[in-house]
Chain A
Amino acid sequence: QQQVKQSPQSLIVQKGGISIINCAYENTAFDYFPWYQQFPGKGPALLIAIRPDVSEKKEGRFTISFNKSAKQFSLHIMDSQPGDSATYFCAASFSARQLTFGSGTQLTVLP
């Protein structure tokens, strides 16, 4: 019940396209859903986060969509750029519990 399932494992998108990464969870106690971006040789960097009382949050080209009833949330990257090529991790947590990470999505944006 602590798992967060992430898909797809890898994603290839053309420059200017939309990248979509999906996550699903079972534990309805989760109340914080961050997305992390990790480049090779670097640590994960917080990209954007959402709480379940909102259905969508947008920061620049990055949008989180949240569907509480379906227990799913997704990351949309608009106008994808080669510089967005990285590994993306969704995560979830609640109360004083620690982050539960998804398995990761390796995104490649072709020039």
Chain B
Amino acid sequence: DTEVTQTPKHLVMGMTNKKSLKCEQHMGHRAMYWYKQKAKKPPELMFVYSYEKLSINESVPSRFSPECPNSSLLNLHLHALQPEDSALYLCASSQQTGSNQPQHFGDGTRLSIL
């Protein structure tokens, strides 16, 4: 079992809906990440939080809004998504940001936009 827990596992939403993805880790990690992964492609970095502060936003559209309520939790709020946003959304964590810091991934939320 993965130590990074993501909910829900699957989500189907319309383009006008508002939903949230949740991620939780209890490893004491201070860096948390959101990635987007399309089929047969590598993960693409979206956001990085370091010590609960947003440190990297990879030019992600504003219809994706991250939130880090505390050091164990990471949310991704979704609003007015497009069909091309359908993908696997992965959360990851590491002790800190920087090289030599293994990232531990959750199993993702499979998102489908109707």
Q: Is there contact, CB below 8 Å, between A104 and B103?
A: no
Interface size of B as a range: 20 to 34
A46 at the interface (CB under 8 A from B): yes
How far does the alpha carbon of A49 sit from the alpha carbon of B101 in the complex, in Å? 10
How far does the alpha carbon of A94 sit from the alpha carbon of B98 in the complex, in Å? 7
A70 at the interface (CB under 8 A from B): no
B114 at the interface (CB under 8 A from A): no
How far does the alpha carbon of A36 sit from the alpha carbon of B106 in the complex, in Å? 13
Contact of B41 among A51, A98, A104 (CB under 8 A): A104
Cβ-closest chain B residue relative to A91: B42
Q: Is there contact, CB below 8 Å, between A46 and B103?
A: yes
Query: Given A98-B56, A104-B42, do A43 and B105 touch, yes or no (CB 8 Å)?
Result: yes
Name the distance in Å between A57's Cβ and chain B's nearest Cβ.
14
Residues in A neighbouring B105, C-beta threshold 8 A: 36, 43-45
Query: Given A31-B100, A96-B98, A99-B103, do A43 and B41 touch, yes or no (CB 8 Å)?
Result: no
B80 at the interface (CB under 8 A from A): no
A69 at the interface (CB under 8 A from B): no
Name the distance in Å between B38's Cβ and chain A's nearest Cβ.
11
- Report whether over half of chain B's contact residues are helix, strand or loop; otherwise say mixed: loop
Name the distance in Å between B47's Cβ and chain A's nearest Cβ.
11
A93 at the interface (CB under 8 A from B): yes
B104 at the interface (CB under 8 A from A): yes
Residue interface mask A62-86, B partner, CB < 8 A = 1: 0000000000000000000000000
A42 at the interface (CB under 8 A from B): yes
Q: Is there contact, CB below 8 Å, between B107 and A103?
A: no
Residue interface mask A88-111, B partner, CB < 8 A = 1: 010001111111011110100000
Closest 9 CB pairs of A and B: A43-B105, A101-B42, A32-B99, A93-B99, A43-B107, A96-B98, A32-B100, A44-B105, A46-B102
A-B contact pairs, 7 of them (CB 8 A): A43-B2, A46-B104, A95-B98, A96-B97, A96-B98, A101-B42, A103-B41
Tell me the A residues contacting B by CB distance below 8 Å: 30-32, 34, 36, 41-46, 49, 51, 87, 89, 93-99, 101-104, 106
